[in-house]
């Protein structure tokens, strides 16, 4: 191994070699012990402490077992000397300017049959301007193995790179999560009980508190039986107030709602809480009666699973009014009508095609050039409009209207398990990639401008060919295309 000199003034090269836990190899314990270098009987425990002036030489007859982090000037292992790193739970960090292994010297951390399972790092330190004589071959910072030297470093094998199997989409509900949407036919108060440990829906129910008082009682009872600590999402779809009695209103108030007491006819209302913790509640309520236009009561709240993954629970209770343009109606010979043209006349000519109360109107020449229109008169539903072409009345034109469709209720409940994160679908098994590892996602054309680093996050729901990474957005517009598809594990 050889590391280049750094001519820079202050610069620390870090070489970090990290191993992760791997399932034990099958076989009798004694065999395993014999294969593990740190079990060799001749080893003497070694704890050199932190002394940057200590020039370590491990020579004939010395076999040392490094049992804790240490800082030394440099290490030279030769003439049958051995240095073995103890495989233990506690991390070991060895700081030195260089390590030279030659002439029968040996350095071991794990072996092929007994991979290192702990966490061991070697940090090579030092500055170029410190007046240290470089080795003529290895330079200043190095782990150098010369003639007769042995270096054995064995950790868990990690897949070093693979391809994306699917175009990258930032986050979203595509992988896992929960999505619930209802409109007509699902009237009342809709409750979801969610497990705070996993972010999964345990149970959900609907209470038609428009139809009957009994449903109101059932709602209150249901809320009482939910165990403390569970997440509750409660929202109205369509109508939920007509037969809502005091018992139910009070049960919801106890959970932390401030608006449910005053829930009125067709009001959108959304609520999220943790049972037993009213101060955790979030709520939205609109005093709108479901006639014209749209209105939405929306809430969301972030939670963390027991494995530390964020999830976003959100709900919206809405009235939605979709709009649609009519077809174009042509006017070849328009005689000027005093006070403008009546929409009711047009409607009579084209029965069933134009709504009573258009939201917008648009006119163009027959060639499609925009004209100016103005609604000049309305009495009741008798709208009139005039059309101008550069200040003159329009001669020959076509006109269309924007009509509101009947309002419809809409309720959605969403659990997004990819908050600030993205799931990558890969071509190989990547179970060797662990939380904290850094990935580089790079373009197959190797442009450094099309590469980005991501940190691996814990992901219980991921399959063997999936990995979850921190971050949701990709600054390069071209990332997200299949073209950008090599994923490489970064070696620090």
Ligand X SMILES: *[C@@H]1O[C@H](CO)[C@@H](O)[C@H](O)[C@H]1NC(C)=O
Is the distance from CB of 153 to CB of 168 less than 8 angstroms? no
Q: Which is nearer to ligand X, 150 or 362 (CB)?
A: 362
Q: Are strands 106-109 and 82-85 parallel, antiparallel or unpaired?
A: parallel
d(CA 114, CA 260): 63
Give me 96's structure tokens.
């030195």
**Least Å distance between CB 81 and ligand X?**
26
Q: Is 94 in the site for ligand X (CB under 6 A)?
A: no
Q: How many residues does the chain have?
A: 492
396 lies in the binding site for ligand X (CB under 6 A): no
Residue pair 118/91 in contact by the 8 Å Cβ criterion: yes
Judged on CB neighbours under 10 Å (0-12, 13-18, 19+), 114 is: buried
Q: Kindly tell me the number of DSSP H helices and DSSP E strands found in the chain.
A: 4, 35
- The one segment of 123-131, 251-259, 384-392, 412-420 that binds ligand X by CB under 6 A: 412-420
In the complex with ligand X, the residue whose CB is nearer, 207 or 303, is 303
325 contacts ligand X (rule: CB under 6 A) = no
Q: Are 60 and 80 in contact (CB under 8 A)?
A: yes
| Nearest residue (CB) to ligand X, 353 versus 434 | 434
Of the two residues 150 and 420, which places its CB atom closer to ligand X in the complex? 420
One of 253, 344, 362, 432 touching ligand X (CB under 6 A): 362
**By three-state DSSP, how is residue 221 classified?**
helix
For 190, 205, 240, 246, the CA distances from 268, given in Å and listed in that order, are: 12, 18, 9, 19
**Which of 200, 280, 344, 420 forms a contact with ligand X (CB under 6 A)?**
420
Distance linking the first and last C-alpha atoms of the chain: 15
Tokens 């059309």 found at: 387
* Residue 6, beta-bridge partner list: none
Q: Cβ closer to ligand X: 34 or 320?
A: 320
| Nearest distance, CB of residue 435 and ligand X, angstroms | 8
| Binds ligand X (CB under 6 A): choice among 370, 429, 444, 447 | 370
Cβ density class 73-95: b for 16+ within 10 Å, e for less: bbbbbbbbbbbbbbbeeeebebb
Q: Residue 70 belongs to what H/E stretch?
A: strand 70-71
The answer to the question of residue 419 lying near ligand X (CB under 6 A) is: yes
Q: Of 109, 118, 102, which is closest to residue 152 (Cα–Cα)?
A: 109
Q: Which is nearer to ligand X, 296 or 310 (CB)?
A: 310
Which range of residues in 182-190, 233-241, 413-421, 449-457 is near ligand X by CB under 6 A? 413-421
**Six token digits for residue 244:** 């809502």
Q: Please, which residues bridge with residue 361 across strands?
A: 401
Closer by beta carbon to ligand X, 222 or else 300: 300
Residue 121 contacts ligand X per CB under 6 A:
yes
Compute CA 349 distance to the chain's CA centroid, rounded to the nearest angstrom: 55
Tokens of 328: 């174009």
* Residue whose CB is less far from ligand X, 132 or 282: 282
Q: Is 417 in the site for ligand X (CB under 6 A)?
A: no
Pick from 281, 312, 417, 422: which binds ligand X (CB under 6 A)? 312
- Asked whether the beta carbons of 430 and 489 are under 8 A apart, the reply is no
Q: At its nearest, how many Å lie between ligand X and the CB of residue 478?
A: 19
Out of 71, 165, 280, 432, the only residue in the binding site for ligand X (CB under 6 A) is 165
Least Cβ distance, residue 155 to ligand X (angstroms): 11
String of DSSP letters for 373-396: EEEEEEETTEEEEEEEETTEEPSS
Contact call for residue 209 and ligand X (CB under 6 A): no
Interface segment toward ligand X; rule CB under 6 A; list 22-30, 57-65, 206-214, 306-314: 306-314
Is 300 a binding residue for ligand X by CB under 6 A? The answer is yes
Closest CB to ligand X among 152 and 428?
A: 428
Minimum separation from the CB atom of position 146 to ligand X (A): 29
Query: Rule CB under 6 A: is residue 359 a binding residue for ligand X?
Result: no
Of 107 and 299, CB closest to ligand X: 299
Sole binder of ligand X in the list 78, 314, 373, 466 (CB under 6 A): 314
**302: contact with ligand X by CB under 6 A:** yes
Q: Which is nearer to ligand X, 128 or 486 (CB)?
A: 486
By DSSP bridging, strand 360-365 and strand 397-404 are antiparallel
Number of residues binding to ligand X, judged by CB under 6 A: 19
Which residues sit at the interface with ligand X, rule CB under 6 A? 18, 91, 93, 119, 121, 165, 300, 302, 310, 312, 314, 362, 370, 414, 416, 419-420, 436, 465
């Amino acid at each position: 191994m050889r590391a280049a000199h750094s001519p820079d003034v202050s610069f620390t090269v870090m070489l970090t070699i990290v191993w992760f836990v791997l399932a034990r190899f099958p076989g009798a314990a004694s065999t395993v012990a014999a294969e593990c270098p740190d079990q060799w009987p001749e080893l003497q425990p070694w704890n050199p402490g932190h002394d940057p002036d200590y020039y370590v030489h491990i020579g004939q007859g010395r076999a040392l077992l490094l049992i804790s982090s240490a800082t030394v000037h440099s290490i030279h292992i030769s003439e049958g000397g051995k240095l073995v790193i103890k495989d233990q739970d506690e991390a070991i960090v060895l700081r030195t300017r260089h390590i030279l292994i030659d002439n029968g010297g040996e350095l071991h951390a794990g072996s092929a049959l007994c991979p290192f399972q702990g966490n061991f790092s070697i940090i090579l330190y030092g500055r170029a301007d410190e007046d240290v004589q470089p080795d003529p071959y290895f330079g200043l910072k190095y782990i150098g193995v010369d003639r007769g030297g042995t270096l054995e470093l064995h950790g868990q094998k990690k897949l070093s790179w693979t391809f994306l199997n699917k175009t990258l989409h930032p986050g979203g509900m595509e992988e896992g999560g929960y999505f619930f949407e209802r409109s007509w036919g699902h009237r009342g108060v809709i409750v979801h009980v969610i497990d705070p440990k996993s972010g999964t829906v345990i149970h959900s129910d609907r209470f038609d508190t428009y139809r009957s008082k009994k449903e109101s009682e059932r709602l209150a009872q249901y809320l009482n039986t939910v165990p403390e600590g569970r997440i509750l999402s409660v929202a109205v779809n369509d109508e939920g107030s007509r037969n809502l009695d005091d018992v139910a209103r009070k049960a919801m108030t106890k959970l932390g709602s401030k608006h449910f007491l005053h829930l009125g006819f067709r009001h959108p209302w959304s609520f999220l809480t943790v049972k037993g913790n009213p101060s955790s509640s979030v709520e939205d309520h609109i005093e709108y009666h479901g006639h014209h236009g749209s209105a939405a009561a929306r809430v969301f709240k972030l939670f963390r699973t027991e494995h530390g993954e964020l999830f976003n629970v959100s709900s919206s209770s809405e009235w939605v009014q979709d709009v649609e343009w009519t077809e174009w109606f042509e006017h070849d010979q328009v005689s000027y009508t005093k006070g403008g043209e009546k929409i009711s006349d047009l409607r009579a000519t084209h029965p069933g095609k134009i709504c009573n109360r258009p939201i917008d109107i648009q006119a163009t020449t027959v060639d499609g050039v925009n004209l100016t229109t103005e609604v000049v008169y309305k009495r009741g539903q008798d709208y009139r409009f005039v059309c101008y072409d550069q200040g003159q009345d329009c001669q020959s034109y076509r006109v269309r209207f924007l009509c509101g469709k009947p309002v419809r209720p809409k309720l959605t409940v969403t659990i997004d398990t990819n908050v600030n994160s993205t799931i990558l679908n890969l071509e190989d098994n990547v179970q060797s990639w662990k939380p904290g590892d850094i990935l580089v996602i790079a373009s197959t054309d190797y442009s450094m401008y099309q590469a980005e680093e991501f940190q691996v996050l814990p992901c219980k729901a991921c399959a063997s060919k999936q990995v979850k990474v921190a971050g949701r957005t990709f600054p390069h517009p071209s990332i997200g295309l299949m073209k950008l598809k090599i994923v490489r594990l970064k070696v620090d």
